[in-house]
């Protein structure tokens, strides 16, 4: 597929079209080893090799990422009182419009998916998909068997018409459980636990669907999803 070089560089997050045009006219951009001086020249994107001032730029039509979200970050491009998770990504990723698929609050850590593909973001967050999210949490109070049964049967949350029920609950210790849910609501897990009389002290998302957060991905680190992992989420690239 052929595209204007200035559009390609802007799409890749190098900068604005004005910035990219300036780089091209200065002779800093090479395509397949050849210097291109005209921003509107068209290039073949299949298998293209682009360098800017000697630095290789990876051409990708779309990105699918996983991030081990640390505590203290907001899942928003316009954070209010804490840094954005997007600050953990390379600047060119942010420039090309990569966004989180759903949100984890500031005090929640764990698996967060991001992409610049709207269809993928919708796939992960759509309530119709019923993708199960697995959370590991600790509470300040002991979690009773009665509380577990109430979570499985469904609890009433403010502003929700229907009862919200856990798909599964696994007791790990007196005040630690794994909670599986297939809906996404504002602070839902914390509100569910509050409804059974337990205050959440630690909350960590371990998995989305069959996709688990890798043990070797440290807090704040990210990597691309493999095709196998996309398959685990039931997503097919369009």
Query: Taking 70 as the threshold, does the pLDDT of residue 237 lie above it?
Result: no
Q: Are residues 121 and 75 in the same domain?
A: yes
Q: What does the DSSP assignment read for 146-199?
A: HHHHHHHH-B--TT-SS-B--SEEEEEETTEEEEEES---TTHHHHHHHHTT--
pLDDT score of 202: 97
With a pLDDT cut of 70, the percent of the chain lying above it is: 99
Query: Taking 80 as the threshold, does the pLDDT of residue 238 lie above it?
Result: no
Q: What is the rounded average pLDDT of the residues 112-133?
A: 92
Catalytic residues: 105
Q: Are residues 199 and 220 in the same domain?
A: no
CATH code where residue 180 lies? 3.30.70.1560
In a domain, 238, yes or no: no
Query: Taking 80 as the threshold, does the pLDDT of residue 166 lie above it?
Result: yes
pLDDT score of 121: 95
**Number of domains the chain contains:** 3
In a domain, 74, yes or no: yes
In a domain, 237, yes or no: no
CATH code where residue 50 lies? 3.10.290.10
Cα–Cα dist 128/91, whole Å: 33
| Average per-residue pLDDT for the chain | 93
Cα–Cα dist 153/8, whole Å: 52
In a domain, 76, yes or no: yes
Q: What is the rounded average pLDDT of the residues 68-89?
A: 94
Query: Taking 70 as the threshold, does the pLDDT of residue 5 lie above it?
Result: yes
Confidence of residue 40 (pLDDT cuts 50, 70, 90): very high
With a pLDDT cut of 90, the percent of the chain lying above it is: 76
pLDDT score of 236: 78
pLDDT, tens digit, 9 for 90 and up, residues 131-154: 999 999 999 999 999 999 999 999
Confidence of residue 223 (pLDDT cuts 50, 70, 90): very high
Q: What does the DSSP assignment read for 31-91?
A: ETTEE---TT-EEE-TT--EEETTEEE---S--EEEEEEPTT-BSSSS-SSS-BGGGGS-H
Q: Are residues 41 and 150 in the same domain?
A: no
In a domain, 170, yes or no: yes
Cα–Cα dist 42/3, whole Å: 5
pLDDT score of 77: 86
Tell me the residue range of the domain where 216 lies. Answer: 64-127+211-232
Parallel/antiparallel/unpaired status of strands 108-115 and 200-208: parallel
CATH code where residue 77 lies? 3.30.70.580
């Amino acid at each position: 597929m052929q595209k204007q070089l200035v559009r390609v560089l802007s799409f890749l997050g190098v900068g604005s079209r004005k910035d990219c045009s300036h780089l091209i006219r200065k002779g800093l951009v090479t395509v397949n080893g050849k210097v291109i001086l005209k921003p509107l020249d068209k290039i073949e994107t299949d298998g293209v090799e682009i360098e800017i001032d000697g630095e290789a730029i990876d051409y990708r039509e779309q990105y699918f990422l996983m991030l081990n979200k640390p505590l203290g970050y907001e899942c928003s491009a316009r954070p209010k009182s804490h840094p954005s998770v997007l600050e953990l990504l390379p600047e060119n990723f942010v420039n090309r419009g990569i966004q989180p698929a759903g949100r984890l609050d500031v005090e929640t850590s764990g698996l967060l998916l991001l992409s610049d593909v709207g269809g993928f973001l919708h796939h992960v967050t759509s309530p119709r998909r019923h993708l199960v999210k697995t959370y590991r949490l600790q509470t300040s109070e002991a979690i009773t068997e009665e509380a577990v049964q109430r979570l499985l049967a469904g609890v009433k949350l403010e502003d929700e018409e229907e009862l919200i029920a856990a798909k599964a609950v696994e007791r790990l210790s007196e005040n630690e459980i794994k909670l599986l849910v297939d809906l996404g609501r504002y602070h839902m897990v914390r509100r569910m636990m509050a409804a059974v009389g337990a205050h959440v002290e630690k909350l960590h998302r371990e998995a989305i669907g069959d996709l688990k957060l890798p043990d070797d991905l440290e807090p704040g680190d990210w990597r691309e999803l493999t095709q196998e992992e996309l398959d685990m989420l039931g997503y097919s690239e369009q």
